[in-house]
């Protein structure tokens, strides 16, 4: 509610990198919140290895962070943001339902991720933390925004993956007794369309992305929107256009045919208003191509189409959530705040 104060740790695990933060909250008017953070990578061999390897890596990085902060001897409260579909049974207990976003660490699905993290920390025996709660990144975003803006009722993530949460009226939640008050609902909207309801908007490129993913048939909405797939979508379209003689005079290189060679950060770079065409020439040259100015314009247009589709689908889904809030309140005009975070939202700007 904005009155909180103290010294806290936060661990955010949910994508190609994870983040550890130290957050100092005071009631000083000039600087109420001080944050120091470090981003650590999650290498593919760890993401695709065992659960023990993954959480050992996280515990090792946490120890390194505490040492640099010179607080290894303190037992600080820690909030754990774990951004995957979970069944939350307690504030500090969350059972992983299924991995998404390219994660495939074995022995974690069906297990309590807080318990696995505690086990990895205890095994090191060199520091201790008090894991107070585990939340989804959408919930963390909404709460962070709500610290300064009490009207915040929605948390939205557009990054490696995508998801949303919102505040629902208790009278609409069958699992909870009572009708007074509200509860935060983690929608897990990345899985929207897993029942086939999005087939009418999926393209041949979306189907190829799905077939080559670690979770075919799952997270269909996410595969249309998120940063994990935008670069690969553009690459697949460029391959088809080149094969049909519409780009690069029909020339195709081994690099262009290699999965993962074109990343979402490249798409972002090629869309820049001022230097986009120059960036397009650089990116395409890196793929062994010799693009003409017309090629660069065409490729940039493809990037824009993929980005606009992502933004429009996300906006449509968010619009549905806002309509729900408006109907719940029974007001002619909704006034609310949406907390938004994620690498695509923050970095993908023309």
The token duo for 302 is: 């493809």
Alpha-carbon gap, residue 215 to 211, rounded angstroms: 8
Domain end point (choices 75, 102, 135): 135
42 and 113 fall within a common domain: yes
Residues in the chain: 350
164 and 310 fall within a common domain: yes
**Predicted pLDDT at 2:** 60
Domain end point (choices 135, 161, 179): 135
CATH number of the domain to which 93 belongs? 3.30.420.40
Residue 205 is assigned to a structural domain of this protein: yes
Residue 25 is assigned to a structural domain of this protein: yes
Is 137 known to be catalytic?
yes
**Predicted pLDDT at 350:** 66
Residue 142 is assigned to a structural domain of this protein: no
131 and 215 fall within a common domain: no
115 and 154 fall within a common domain: no
Alpha-carbon gap, residue 42 to 253, rounded angstroms: 30
- Domain with 244 in it: 150-350
Is 112 known to be catalytic?
no
Q: Which of 12, 101, 210, 295 is catalytic?
A: 101
**Predicted pLDDT at 30:** 55
**Predicted pLDDT at 1:** 59
208 and 86 fall within a common domain: no
Helix, strand or coil, per DSSP, at residue 91: coil
Residue 261 CA to chain centroid, in angstroms?
Answer: 21
Helix, strand or coil, per DSSP, at residue 3: coil
**Predicted pLDDT at 29:** 57
237 and 349 fall within a common domain: yes
Residue 140 is assigned to a structural domain of this protein: no
211 and 71 fall within a common domain: no
306 and 189 fall within a common domain: yes
Residue 141 is assigned to a structural domain of this protein: no
Alpha-carbon gap, residue 230 to 227, rounded angstroms: 5
84 and 155 fall within a common domain: no
**Predicted pLDDT at 15:** 79
CATH number of the domain to which 347 belongs? 3.40.367.20
Q: Which of 137, 210, 266, 295 is catalytic?
A: 137
Q: What is the pLDDT along the chain (350 residues), one digit of tens a residue?
A: 566 788 999 999 987 789 999 998 876 655 577 889 999 998 889 999 999 999 999 999 999 999 999 999 999 999 999 989 999 889 999 999 999 988 999 999 999 999 999 999 999 999 999 999 999 999 999 998 988 899 999 999 999 999 999 999 998 988 777 778 899 999 999 999 999 999 999 999 999 999 999 899 999 999 999 999 999 999 999 999 999 999 999 999 999 999 999 999 999 999 998 899 999 999 999 999 999 999 999 999 999 999 999 999 999 999 999 999 999 999 999 999 999 999 899 988 76
- Domain tally for the chain? 2
155 and 131 fall within a common domain: no
pTM for this prediction: 0.86
Residue 145 is assigned to a structural domain of this protein: no
Alpha-carbon gap, residue 211 to 224, rounded angstroms: 14
346 and 250 fall within a common domain: yes
74 and 168 fall within a common domain: no
**Predicted pLDDT at 38:** 95
Q: How far is CA 253 from CA 157, 248, 301, in A?
A: 35, 10, 21
Residue 120 main-chain phi, psi, to 5 deg:
-65, -40
Residue 1 is assigned to a structural domain of this protein: no
Domain end point (choices 135, 166, 198): 135
Residue 28 is assigned to a structural domain of this protein: yes
Q: Is 196 exposed, middle or buried (0-12, 13-18, 19+ CB in 10 A)?
A: exposed
**Predicted pLDDT at 273:** 84
Q: Is 163:82 a contact under the CB 8 Å cutoff? A: no
């Amino acid at each position: 509610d904005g009155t909180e104060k103290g010294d806290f740790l936060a661990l955010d695990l949910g994508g190609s990198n994870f983040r550890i933060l130290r957050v100092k909250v005071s009631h000083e008017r000039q600087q109420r919140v001080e944050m120091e953070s470090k981003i650590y990578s999650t290498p593919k061999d760890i993401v695709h290895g065992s659960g023990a390897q993954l959480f050992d890596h996280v515990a090792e990085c946490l120890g390194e962070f505490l040492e640099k902060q010179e607080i290894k001897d303190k037992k600080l409260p820690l909030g754990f943001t774990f951004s995957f579909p979970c069944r939350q049974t307690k504030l500090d207990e969350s059972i992983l339902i299924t991995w998404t976003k390219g994660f495939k660490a074995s022995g974690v699905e069906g297990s309590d991720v807080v318990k696995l993290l505690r086990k990895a920390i205890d095994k090191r025996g060199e520091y201790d933390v008090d894991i107070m709660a585990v939340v989804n990144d959408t919930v963390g975003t909404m709460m962070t925004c709500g610290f300064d803006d009490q009207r915040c009722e929605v948390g939205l993530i557009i990054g490696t993956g995508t998801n949303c949460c919102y505040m629902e009226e208790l009278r609409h939640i069958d699992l909870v007794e009572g009708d007074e008050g509200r509860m935060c609902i983690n929608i897990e909207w990345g899985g929207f369309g897993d029942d086939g309801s999005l087939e009418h908007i999926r393209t041949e490129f979306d189907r190829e992305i799905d077939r080559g993913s670690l979770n075919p048939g799952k997270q269909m909405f996410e595969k249309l929107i998120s940063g994990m797939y935008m670069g690969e979508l553009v690459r697949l379209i460029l391959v088809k256009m080149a094969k049909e003689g519409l780009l690069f005079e029909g020339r195709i290189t081994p690099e262009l045919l290699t999965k993962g060679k074109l990343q979402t950060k490249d798409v972002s770079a090629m869309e820049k208003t001022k230097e986009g065409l120059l960036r397009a020439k650089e990116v395409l040259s890196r793929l062994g191509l010799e693009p003409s100015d017309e090629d660069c314009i065409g490729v940039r247009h493809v990037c824009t189409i993929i980005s606009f589709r992502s933004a429009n689908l996300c906006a449509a889904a968010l619009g549905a959530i806002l309509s729900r809030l408006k109907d719940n309140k029974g007001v002619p005009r909704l006034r609310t705040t949406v907390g938004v975070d994620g690498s695509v939202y923050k970095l993908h700007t023309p």
